Amino acid sequence: MAAIAYPEFRPQAPRERHLHLVPPPARRRVRPGRAVYWRRRVLALVVAVVVLIAARAALGALGGGPLAVPGTPAARGGSAAAVYVVQPGDTYWSIARRLQPAGDVRALVDHLSSEHGGAPLQPGEQLALR
């Protein structure tokens, strides 16, 4: 009978790792200087003023004229309210265009429609223009 000899088994200790986790560098908050701060404040103010001026101009362009037929006492500054008698085929748009020949009449159409309650126009009706 033959015998086989094996070397003695010794488990090896795990090797040390050579990789180390490094935390990310701490972020340092950099504050802008005074000049940058004031430039930003002035720019914000300028933008606010420009937006305000543009808004006022847009509102003025939407309408703002008197809702009176030229030549009536209300158009000359009197206190009497003008009355428009609806003709066959008239619409809010055609009446608004007669009252305001130039410019955008959408605001005037909305005003006339709301004053009349949004109801359809009937020939012979009288629309009070205020």
Q: List, run by run, the mean pLDDT of 10-residue segments along the chain (130 residues).
A: 69 69 81 90 93 78 53 51 83 87 87 85 82
93 torsion bin: left (phi>0), alpha (psi -120 to 50), beta (else): alpha
**CATH code of the domain covering residue 89:** 3.10.350.10
Q: What is the pLDDT of residue 23?
A: 83
Containing 94, the helix (H) or strand (E) segment is: helix 92-99
Find residue 84's DSSP bridge partners: 127
Tokens 């200087």 correspond to: 33
Q: What is the pLDDT of residue 68?
A: 53
Q: What is the pLDDT of residue 39?
A: 94
Question: For the chain, give me the number of helices (H) and strands (E)?
Answer: 3, 2
Is residue 106 within 8 Å of residue 62, measured between CB atoms?
yes
94 with 56, same domain: the answer is: no
Q: State how far the alpha carbon of 9 is from the alpha carbons of 4, 5, 6, 113, in Å.
A: 15, 12, 8, 102
Per the structure, the complete domain to which residue 53 belongs is given by: 33-62
Q: How far apart are CA 65 and CA 69, in angstroms?
A: 11
In a domain, 25, yes or no: no
Q: What is the pLDDT of residue 119?
A: 84
In a domain, 40, yes or no: yes
Q: How many domains does the chain have?
A: 2
